[in-house]
Structures are given as structure tokens and as C-alpha cells.
Amino acid sequence: MNSRLDWILALRNLKRNPRRTISTGLAIVIAYVGLTLLTGHIFNIEYAAKIPLIYGNGTGHVSIYKKGGLDNYELQPALYHMTGTELEAIAKSLEPIASQIETTGTYLSTQALLSVGSRSIPVFIRGVQPEVDDFSRNHPRVQKHAPEFVALQSGQSFSKSSKETIDAISVSQGVSEILGYKSEISALAAADKQVVLAGRTFDGDLNAINGTVALKHSTGTPILEDSSVIAPIEIVRELLQTQGASHQVLFLKNDDDIGRVVDHMRTEFKNRGVDLEAYPFTDDRIGLFYNGTMSFLYAMGSFFALLIFGASGLIIVNSMTISILERAKEMGTLRAIGFPPDRVKSLFVKEACWLALGASLLGLLVSEILAVIISSAGWTVESAGTTYSVLIKILTKPWMHAGLTLTMIVIAAVCSGWLVKRKVKERIALLLLE
Amino acid sequence: MTRFLSPNLILRVLIFTALIPMSADLVFANSAEDLLEASDRARGGVATGVTWNVRVESTENGTKSDRSFVIKARDVNALAEATQPAKFKGEVFLFNDRTMWFFKPSLRRPIAISSRQRLSGQAANGDIASTNYARDYTAEIERTETLDGQPHKVLLLKAKSDQVTYDQIRYWVSEKSKLAKKAAFMTLQGEVFKEATFDYGNSIVVQGKKVPFISKMIITDVKNRKNKSTLSYSKLKLDSLPPAIFNINSLSR
Amino acid sequence: MTSQTLVSLKGVEKRYLLGEVEVPALKSIDLEIALGEFTALIGVSGSGKSTLLNLIGSIDVPDKGKIVFDGQDISALSEVELSHLRNRKIGFIFQSFNLIPVLTAAENIELPLLMQPELSPAERSERVQTALQDVGILDHQNHLPDRLSGGQRQRVAIARALVTRPKLILADEPTANLDSKTAHKIIDLLLDLNRKKNVTFFFCSHDEKLIGRVGRVLHISDGMIS
């Protein structure tokens, strides 16, 4: 029904008042660029918050606990740890979705006392498989999205240290400061590195094991930094006198699969009759800081997006109002030669669409250039939940641009259509007189 | 007859009776510490060296546990070696004055622990060794109470430092035998959380005298009376223990 | 009444609101236009001639009376039906040409054909070329209106009105903005088209000089036809 000439006419109409077209177009460009930078910044913060959480601190995308374990394991580990049978059930449950899993980790966590000489400090030990710890903390995504976090790590391989020293442990920066380490771990005297870790077995009896501080790491989080110790799971098992685990963690290939994987695991657990529960890292008990940061950013971002889209709509309405007033006679002429009101309306809508498209494309170009400039500037922003300043980067994605462009076009179409609607239905004779 | 009621005699009697209240106070003012010291002796505080076995049988939330130790005590030091069950063999708790250490052969060095920490069931680390309440607590006599037909002084003990096992203890000590019969262990705010009773079926010979010694201590959780630990003391004997065995450095090789 | 009646008006009235005062523009008009006729409606400014033209062309609505166009009572038609009527049966020529300034002559002429989806692009193109030829501006087909003279622009407007092969062409003072030489040329063209293509013409003007050349002349004053 609509021909090529309609679109050509609409495009050429934009040239009738170049100043108005350019100023309206620029306003849309600015809106587009503003939205891209805002969204790109939020994406960056999202990655900066979740990547260290998932990989850097070994939380994984999905955590599996004994039912009630997420809340109660720490207080009653004897009741809420997972046994070998349960770990096997997890392994079997994972088989159908193996293609979505990058790797899994078995963890045994406990509160403990770390003792050097006559000093004892309370710590939280994460017992891990050393290869899994290496995998998660050296993951390429961490290098890419959280270089500031990487810069805080010692960079050594835990599994390598673990092979050399059977009781090798890694202490966090905060712990190392409390212990009074003044130099790099490798430069310390042997006596200073040899520690004793004391804790309670699952039966509640006091037990202790040797540990050798071989590495330093950073949790990147103020609340964890003063008490974090990473140890091979086998020595923690010896300390707690158990072969069990506190939780199992899944690292997925794709962040978007989290919901599906959690649902799958829950179904499998129900079908197998095992008392286990799967949680995404976005559960408040696991990723509270991430949730808090992101909900604030999304809320703020949505608010600003709404404002910007609203302003864009108003700018188009403003620009088109004058256009319509000026071209009433033309509308009348088109009606007189047989164009029904809707067809006349669609000409103005097409014109607005061209403007929105052109401005969006220009906006795309400008925002991409700005994104590169800002991302390379090395600016940082302080963050309450991290021990380091986060690099300011603008992360853009093709679907973001597609979405923004489409939204701008839709806003243009809707606003212009609404505006013209009444006018085109006026009596033709009156239109021709204007 | 007049010789009997001579002024001299009357004066002496008057002076004597006037002095009685004063000397009574003097006698009572000493007795709190005195009682404590005496009761400590019956609970292991022997200067020369004594060895005994203690067995801790506990019921905790339905679960039973049974641990045995050999205790070597001398003066302010004590060494507890775990003997039963076999998995704990080689574990050692050392009490040096007010510091405590835990050690087992696989460890490179001992680890400092607190006397307040739970050892097994209702028994804290500080409960299994000898007591030194006279040294560790200030004592005040609250009142007198009759237990099992015998008058007991009820002492309120307040910790002299925060390294001792309990912040406050209410201690029932027999006036006659100077043995502690009952204890109520309290928080700093005065809330009772544990209670204990003592039996003294053992005896040792100290400086030629036969002295009663603790044979049983039953500790009960006040909030849940089903949770309790029974410490049974046996194989008591005097021993000349070399001071070196209480040296922390002798533990790690 | 030898030819067929194309348009018939009976008791048509139209009033306008001038501020708060109601002004009658047309007072009870009865009129018939036959197929193939070339009629000129002469009247001074304010006589109601443009109003009458608008009513015949269905671009305005009478307050009273009935207008029948090609057998249809146009008051009974919906807006879409009226658009269809205007597109296929009526052609308009305006005093100020009313060309779309951003379209070339050929594109302006093609515009009304966009509402006839049964025509292929080739057919549209052929009709446009024919129309350009009929009005004699084939050489200027790719020029924008601002590059054409007044007379050329009016020719484009005429071609646009013709291209849909309407039954009636309405022209509102088609020569008012042209010099007299050009005006005569345009009238000649219209007469020529009337003869050759048998298109019915109804145009209004205030120029008495044109009377002599036209077959039927109607006079209108104060809203009434004499």
C-alpha cells in the first residue's frame, strides 16, 4: 500500500527546514548518547560487581547446599553438611546439562583460629580444590572485567603451591597485615609462615592442623578482607574430621543460563529425593552487595531513561507541531487529491521516523567514540563494597543500540502520529485556507 | 567467795567479752579466702605434685560422649593428656598459670586456647584441671545456707581477670569440712548458666595428713537440664613431677 | 438536458461564523452540471464561489441541502469513501498551484496515482508521461517547482488533476496568479482538454475577460446564482 515515493517524500521533507531538522536531530543524538553512556556504565558496574563475586571469590553462578544449609551450616555444620552420597547425586543431576557447565567446585568452609606464635586470630577458611581455585581466580573474564581486582592478587598458582607444600594455604591481604607480614610471602622466614589452624570437628571437639602460608590473595571486599583463608579441601577435611562438604558450586558457560540451571537442579533434587537446594548467586544471602548495587543502579537508570525518552518525545512533539502548522495547506492538498487522513498522517510519521533513525545512527557513532575515549581514560570510582576503586568503562552491546534506535523510532512515530491525527481530519477547505 | 569476784577477775572477764566480737570479726574476715584455699586443695591445688585420671561422660542434646584424660598437676601448672577414645590419643592440654595450650603430635607447635572454651559436653577446658579459685577470684561471703543438714557458707566469687574460666561463681563451701559442695557459674551480668555439684570420695596424704579429694563433679546446663557432664576422678596419687613437663617448649620438637 | 447530469445540488446552504456573527456564504443553491460541460462561475471576492466549488468537490460540507455526485449522495459517504471519490472522480486545480515543493514535476503528478494500488509502477509512469505531454511540460518533468515559472507550475497542477482520469475537474481561480498572456494559454489548454478528453470542467474566476471563451457562464453574488 505504501510506496517508495512516500518514504522519499518524507525524507525530502526533512530538508525543508534544515535548522529545525538539525536541532531536533541533535537533541535526539544527545539523548541517544546520554542513554548509551548511562547504560554502558551500568553494564560495566554489573560486570565489575559480579565477576569478582562469581569467579574471584569462588562463589560460582549457582551454589548447592543441603536444605537449610545456606542459613544454618555455619552454626550447625554437623547437621547441614553434604555427604558423599549427596555429592554423587549432584554429579548425576548435572549430566543432562553438562554442556552448560564450565566446571564445578566442592567446598568445605569453616570458622577457625589461625595461630602464629602465641597470637591467634579468628578466620574463615574456604576449603577448595586447588585447581578450581586457580580456575576461578584466573578466569579470563576476571582479567577482562575486573583488572583492578586482578591487580590485588599475588598471581601465583594455588595448585602449584599445593603440590609443593601439602599444607599450603593462602591468606588475604588483611590477614597478612594482622599477622605482621612485612614482605612478600616468599621472602618470609620459614618459622613465620608456619601456622596452626584450630577449629571444631563436626562432633564439636577441638582439633588443629598445620598450615604453611604460601600465598596471598585479596577478596576485594572490606568485610571479608580481614579474615579470609583459602586452604586445600583435604586439609580442612582433616581439621573437621569429615569427608563431607559445606557446599558445591557451579560455574556456567553463560550467565543467562542461571535460571534454567537452578530450575533443573531443583527438579532433579526433588525427583531423586535428596535434601539439597540450589541457589543463584543473586540470592540475597550470597550476593547481597551485588543485589543492592544493581537494584539501585537499575532503578536510577530506569528513572533517567524514562526522563530522557520523555524529553525526546517532547522535543519531537515541539518540532512537529510547528511543522504541522506550516504544512496545513499541504495536508489539505493531499486530502483533496484523494489521500485518506491515515495516509497523510503516515507521511508525517515516516518523516519523524527518518529523523529518529538518522539521529540514532549518528548517536550510535558518537556514543561509540565516546565509549572508547572514556574507557581508555582510566578514571575510577570509589565503591563501598570493594577494597579497590572500580575503573570507569562504557560497555556497549549491539542489541543495546538496536533497542535504543527502535525505541527512538517508536517514540517519534507515536508522538508525531498522535499530534497529526486530529489535524488531518479537519475540514479540507479549512486546511487549504491556512 | 570474795576472791572469785575480785575486781581483777571481773575486769579481765569484761575485757575478754568485749574482745569477743572483734576476734569473731577477725576470724570471719579471713575465712572466705581460707575456705577457698582449703576447697582448692580438695580439687587438685596441691603444691608438690599429684596425678589422677578423669573421665568425662556427657549427654548433649541426646548424643552421648565419653572422654578420658590423665591429669598431672603441680602448683599452678597442669598437664592433661587425652587417653580415650583412641582417636584423641596424643592430644595434650597444658595449663601454665593462666594461659592454656592445646597440642597434638602432628602439629608443629602448640596453639593457645582459652579456659572458657568448651572441652566436651558441659565441661570447659578450665574444668578438667586443678582449680585455683583463691588465686583467680575475689571472694565475699553472701550468706550461710544449710545443705544436707550442714551449714555452708555461700561465697560470691568474682574473676580477677578475663582469662579465668568463669566471670562469677556462687560457691557453697562447708563450714566444717571446708569442701565445696555446690557451684553456680554465672555470666558477668550474674545470670546462672551452669551448675555443678561435687563429691569427695577420694583422699590423699599431704604432709602426713589425710586430706579429702574430689571424686566426682557433675556439671549441668541450667537452660536444658538434660545436658550434663559427669567428671569422675580416680587413680589419685602423689607424684614428684618435674617442672620441665609443664614447659610449653617441651611439647613441640 | 441532453447530456448526463454529473453533479446536482438542491437547496444547498452554507454559513460561516465570523467571530460571533454568522455570515451566510451560500443561500439555497440549486445547480446541475452535465458531463462534458465547461462551466465558468464568475463572481467577485466574497461572493461564495470558492465555497460552492469546495462543496461540489466534497472538501467542505453544506449546512443544508443535498449534493449528488455521479448518482451518489455525498453526505452519506464515509471519509474513506470520500477520499476515494476525490481521488478517482474529481481533480482539483488551485489558485496557488499547491505543489509539493520537495517533489519534482513528475513526482507531483504521480502523487494521486499512489492511491490506486491496482496500477503497477510501469503503468503509473506511463500515465505521468502522458499527462506531462498533454500539458506540454515533458522537458521539465525532473524540475522542482521552484525552478518552474508560474505557468509551468499551473500546468503541472493541471497534469496532476488529469492523471487520475477524473470525471470532473474543479479549478479555483486557476489563472489568478498568472499574467494575462499565460492565463489565456492556460484557459486554452483547459478548453483543449475538455474537447479532446471530454473532461467536465467547472472553474470559478473573477476575471470577466474569460467569459467570452467559455461555453456556460454562471454568475454568483451574495451567495446566490443568477
Tell me the percentage of chain C whose pLDDT exceeds 90: 55
Contact C55, C103 (CB under 8 A): no
Separation in Å, CA of C214 to nearest CA in chain A: 25
Q: Using DSSP, state whether C3 is helix, strand or coil.
A: coil
Q: How far apart are CA A34 and CA A32, in angstroms?
A: 5
Domains annotated for chain B, with CATH where assigned, are 40-250 (2.50.20.10)
Q: In the block, which residue shows the cell 512533539?
A: A317
The verdict on a CB contact (< 8 Å) between A337 and C88 is no
Whole-number pLDDT of residue A361: 96
> Per residue in C15-25, pLDDT tens?
988 888 888 88
**Does the structure show a pLDDT above 70 at A52?**
yes
Chains in contact with A, counting 3 or more C-beta pairs less than 8 Å apart as contact: B, C
A79 and A28 housed in the same domain:
no
pLDDT of A112 above 60: yes
When the pLDDT of each residue in chain B is averaged and rounded to a whole number, the result is 83
* CB contact (8 A) between residue A208 and residue B60: no
User: Is the same domain home to A92 and A239?
Assistant: yes
Residue B251 predicted with pLDDT over 50 = yes
Q: Average of pLDDT values for A199-210?
A: 90
Whether A352 and A241 share a structural domain? no
pLDDT at residue A1, rounded to an integer: 47
Q: Is B176 on the interface with A (CB under 8 A)?
A: no
Mean pLDDT of B15-32: 49
Which of C17, C26, C59, C94 is the best mutation test for A, with the most CBs of A within 10 A? C59
Tell me: pLDDT of A95 over 90.
Answer: yes
Touch criterion met for A and B (3+ Cβ pairs within 8 Å): yes
The answer to whether A249 touches A129, Cβ cutoff 8 Å, is no
Share of chain A above pLDDT 90, in %: 63
Q: How many CB atoms lie within 10 A of CB B191?
A: 11
Look at A142-146, A341-345, C103-107, C204-208 and tell me which has the smallest mean pLDDT.
C204-208
Question: Which residues lie across from A62 on neighbouring strands?
Answer: A250, A280
Across the interface, whether the CB atoms of B106 and A210 are under 8 A apart is answered yes
**Residue C2 pLDDT exceeds 60:** no
Contacts of the segment B163-166: beta carbons below 8 A, 24+ positions apart: B163/B98, B163/B99, B163/B114, B163/B115, B164/B98, B164/B115, B164/B126, B164/B136, B164/B137, B165/B115, B165/B116, B165/B124, B165/B125, B165/B126, B165/B127, B166/B116, B166/B126
- CB-count exposure of residue A222 (10 Å: 0-12, 13-18, 19+): middle
Do A161 and A264 lie in one domain? The reply is yes
**Using one digit for the tens of pLDDT, what is the confidence trace for B206-248?**
778 888 888 999 999 999 999 999 999 999 888 888 888 888 8
Rounded Cα gap, residues B119 and A277, in angstroms:
34
Tell me whether residues A341 and C79 touch, CB distance under 8 A.
Answer: yes
Q: Does A19 share its domain with A160?
A: no
Which positions in chain A touch C161 (Cβ < 8 Å)? 337
Query: What pLDDT is stored for residue C109 in this prediction?
Result: 95
Asked if residue A234 and residue A205 are part of one domain, the reply reads yes
**Number of independent structural domains in chain A:** 2
Looking at chain B, the whole-number percentage of residues with pLDDT higher than 70 is 87
Interface of A with B in 171-210 (CB under 8 A): 194, 196, 198, 203-206, 208-210
Four-residue CA torsion sign, B47, B49, B55, B56: positive
C-alpha cell at B184: 553456680
Query: Is A330 in a helix, a strand, or coil?
Result: helix
Does residue A277 sit in the same domain as residue A298? no
Q: What single letter denotes the amino acid at residue C73?
A: D
Residues A215 and A349 in one domain: no
Give me the long-range contacts of A419-424 (CB less than 8 A, separation at least 24).
A419/A317, A419/A320, A419/A321, A419/A324, A419/A348, A420/A320, A420/A324, A420/A344, A420/A345, A420/A348, A420/A349, A421/A345, A423/A324, A423/A328, A423/A331, A424/A331, A424/A335, A424/A341, A424/A342, A424/A344, A424/A345
A81 shares a domain with A224: yes
CB atoms under 10 Å from CB of A155, counted, come to 12
User: Does B104 sit within 8 Å of A206, measured CB to CB?
Assistant: no
Touch A-C: 3+ C-beta pairs under 8 A = yes
Final residue of a domain: which of A244, A267, A286?
Answer: A286
Residues A90 and A216 in one domain: yes
Which residue's C-alpha cell is 580481614?
Answer: A226
Give Cα separations from B27 to B30, B35, B36, B144 (angstroms): 6, 12, 15, 15
Instruction: Look up residue C102 and give its three cell numbers.
Output: 520537495
Q: What is the ipTM of this complex?
A: 0.92
Q: What is the pTM of this model?
A: 0.76
Q: What is the pLDDT of residues B88-106, one digit of tens each?
A: 999 999 988 778 889 999 9
Cα three-residue angle A180-A110-A280, rounded to 5 degrees = 115
Q: Give the mean model confidence (pLDDT) for residues B39-53.
A: 82
Q: Cell 579468628 maps to which residue?
A: A122
pLDDT score at C183: 84
CATH of domain C5-225: 3.40.50.300
Same structural domain, A399 and A339: yes
State which of A269, A286, A303 marks the end of a domain: A286
pLDDT tens digit sequence for C40-52: 998 888 888 889 9
- Among B111, B108, B109, which Cα is nearest to B99's? B111
Q: Report how far residue B72's alpha carbon sits from residue B54's, in angstroms, rounded to the nearest whole number.
A: 11
Can you tell me the distance from the alpha carbon of B251 to that of A239, in angstroms, rounded to the nearest whole number?
Answer: 20
- The pLDDT tens digits of the residues spanning A248-289 come to 999 999 999 999 999 999 999 999 999 999 999 999 999 888
Higher pLDDT, A62 or C195: A62
Supply the pLDDT for residue B252: 64
pLDDT at A137: 87
Q: How far is CA B62 from the centre of its chain?
A: 28
Residue where one domain finishes, among candidates A244, A264, A286: A286
Q: A321 vs A118, which has greater pLDDT?
A: A321
Has residue A117 got a pLDDT over 60? Answer: yes
Average pLDDT, chain A: 91
Provide the percentage of residues in chain A whose pLDDT is more than 70: 99
- Reported as a pLDDT band with limits 50, 70 and 90, residue B24 is very low
Express each pLDDT in C111-156 by its tens digit. Answer: 999 999 999 999 999 999 999 998 989 999 999 999 999 889 999 9
Which pLDDT does position A251 carry in this prediction? 96
Question: pLDDT value at position B12?
Answer: 62
Give the B window 113-142 contacts with A, CB below 8 Å.
113, 117-120
Among A288, A290, A120, A300, which residue's Cα sits nearest to residue A211?
A: A120
Among C79, C86, C117, beta carbon nearest to A337? C86
Nearest Cα neighbor of A353 from A417, A420, A419, A425 is A417
Tell me what pLDDT residue A324 has.
Answer: 87
For the segment A313-342, the average pLDDT, to the nearest whole number, is 90
pLDDT band per the 50, 70, 90 thresholds, residue B115: confident
Q: Which of B58, B108, B163, B249 to mutate to test the interface with A (most CBs of A within 10 A)?
A: B108
Task: Tell me how far the alpha carbon of residue A124 is from its chain's centroid.
Answer: 26
Q: Which domain holds residue A269?
A: 60-286
How does residue B4 score in pLDDT terms, banded at 50, 70 and 90?
Answer: low
Q: Which amino acid is at C151?
A: G
